[in-house]
């Protein structure tokens, strides 16, 4: 299939897949596959998040990030390699870079009732007690939406529809509220410092709740960066590196970044909340047989999801 040079991210209705006619369902699968083999991103409506939940969650997130750094740092446990709790400013860097991103974030994993023994406990700030309630609700809502997306992907790959279900139901997924913090003196920054340097996500798919400001861009196949925008009632869902490996590159983990705002706006904050959908650690990411042929020889070594995550955490500076 020839590359399609999208000027914007395609928009789809998840209800066509979950509750539409058989024709609507298969049209969704076909359109999703076309987008994911080209640009790697789609915007989705009818994802399950309510306006109230989104508003309440962002309010709680902003309240946490407004706390003094010394308070937030009480919830940073570096021995967890950034997998739960607070991750301080500049600690994460894109693969292959030495300068840390201009962001701080907070990681929430599986709720306690779904948690496996090999996953660390969530960490909750006592100063913002409502954060647990709203992040947990959003986590479970996005998990359900993500499972529907993966079912559509499975059908596109000519796999059983429930192929991914048992791999992600109790997987190591992460909800990540992010604060791209204000910069009062841009001249004091390293020349290559950006909010989020170009990168591909580690996981299977990422579901991104709307950000509070512009800045997200995706690298198109012809080398052009295009802005990622979604309507207020939509989320953006992109392919991650694990899914690209598993499909031998058939589905594209597209490179994306968050650029700095104009100099006059560097003193402002940006917030976003991605949900990184990870499978269970023991999932085999070996290239699917149906994605390997003479024209597309196997491009990736065999590895488990847990091994791949461990490798990437070291590359981005969260694990030594």
Domains identified in the chain and CATH numbers: 11-315 (2.60.120.330)
Predicted confidence at residue 157, as pLDDT, reads 97
Predicted confidence at residue 3, as pLDDT, reads 62
Number of Cβ atoms within 10 Å of the Cβ of 116: 12
Which residues are 186's β-sheet partners? none
| Phi, psi (degrees; rounded to nearest 5) at 261 | -75, 170
Q: Comparing C-alpha atoms, which of 11, 5, 1, 12 is closest to residue 39?
A: 5
Global confidence as pTM: 0.93
End-to-end CA distance of the chain: 41
Task: Determine contact, residues 115/121, Cβ cutoff 8 Å.
Answer: yes
Q: Measured between alpha carbons, how far is 195 from 100 in angstroms, rounded to an integer?
A: 9
Kindly report each contact of residues 82-89 with a partner whose C-beta sits within 8 Å and lies 24 or more positions away, as own/partner: 82/107, 82/313, 82/318, 82/319, 83/107, 83/109, 83/120, 83/174, 83/318, 84/108, 84/109, 84/120, 84/121, 84/122, 84/123, 85/122, 85/123, 86/123, 86/125, 87/318, 89/181
| Burial (0-12, 13-18, 19+ Cβ within 10 Å), 124 | middle
22-36 vs 130-156: helix crossing angle, rounded to 10: 90
Q: Which residues contact 241 (CB under 8 A, 6 or more apart)?
A: 200, 201, 202, 203, 253, 308, 312
Task: Determine contact, residues 184/264, Cβ cutoff 8 Å.
Answer: no
Per-residue pLDDT of the chain (320 residues; tens, 9 = 90+): 456 666 778 899 999 999 999 999 999 999 999 999 888 889 999 999 999 999 999 999 999 999 999 999 999 998 998 899 999 998 888 777 878 899 999 999 998 766 778 889 999 999 999 999 999 999 999 999 999 999 999 999 999 999 999 999 889 999 999 999 999 888 888 888 889 889 889 999 999 987 656 888 888 888 889 888 767 789 999 999 999 999 999 998 988 999 888 888 889 999 999 999 999 999 999 999 999 999 999 999 999 999 999 998 888 878 77
Which residues are 4's β-sheet partners? none
Torsion angle of C-alpha atoms 17, 21, 26, 28, degrees rounded to 10: -40
Q: Measured between alpha carbons, how far is 265 from 269 in angstroms, rounded to an integer?
A: 9
């Amino acid at each position: 299939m020839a590359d399609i040079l999208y000027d914007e991210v395609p928009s789809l209705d998840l209800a066509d897949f979950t509750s539409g006619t058989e024709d609507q369902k298969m049209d969704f699968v076909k359109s999703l596959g076309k987008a994911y083999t080209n640009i790697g991103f789609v915007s989705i409506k009818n994802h399950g998040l309510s306006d109230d939940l989104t508003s309440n969650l962002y309010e709680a997130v902003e309240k946490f990030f407004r706390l003094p750094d010394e308070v937030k740092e009480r919830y940073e446990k570096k021995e967890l390699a950034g997998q739960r709790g607070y991750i301080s400013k500049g600690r994460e860097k894109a693969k292959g870079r030495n300068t840390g991103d201009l962001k701080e974030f907070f990681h929430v994993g599986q709720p306690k009732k779904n948690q496996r023994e090999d996953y660390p406990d969530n960490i909750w700030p006592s100063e913002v007690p409502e954060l647990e309630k709203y992040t947990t609700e959003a986590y479970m809502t996005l998990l359900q939406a993500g499972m529907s997306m993966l079912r559509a992907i499975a059908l596109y790959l000519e796999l059983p529809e429930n192929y991914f279900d048992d791999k992600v139901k109790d997987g190591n997924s992460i909800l990540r509220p992010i604060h791209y913090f204000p910069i009062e003196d841009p001249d004091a920054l390293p020349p290559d410092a950006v909010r989020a340097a170009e990168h591909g996500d580690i996981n299977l798919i990422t579901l991104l709740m709307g950000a509070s400001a512009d800045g997200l861009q995706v690298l198109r196949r012809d080398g052009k960066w295009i802005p990622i925008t979604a309507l207020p009632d939509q989320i953006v869902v992109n392919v991650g590196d694990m899914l690209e490996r598993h499909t031998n590159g058939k589905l594209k983990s597209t490179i994306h970044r968050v650029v700095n705002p104009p100099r006059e706006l560097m003193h402002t904050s940006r917030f976003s909340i991605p949900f990184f959908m990870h499978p269970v650690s023991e999932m085999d990411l070996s290239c699917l047989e149906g994605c390997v042929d003479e024209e597309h020889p196997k491009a990736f070594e065999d590895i488990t999801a847990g091994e791949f995550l461990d490798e990437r955490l070291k590359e981005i500076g969260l694990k030594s």
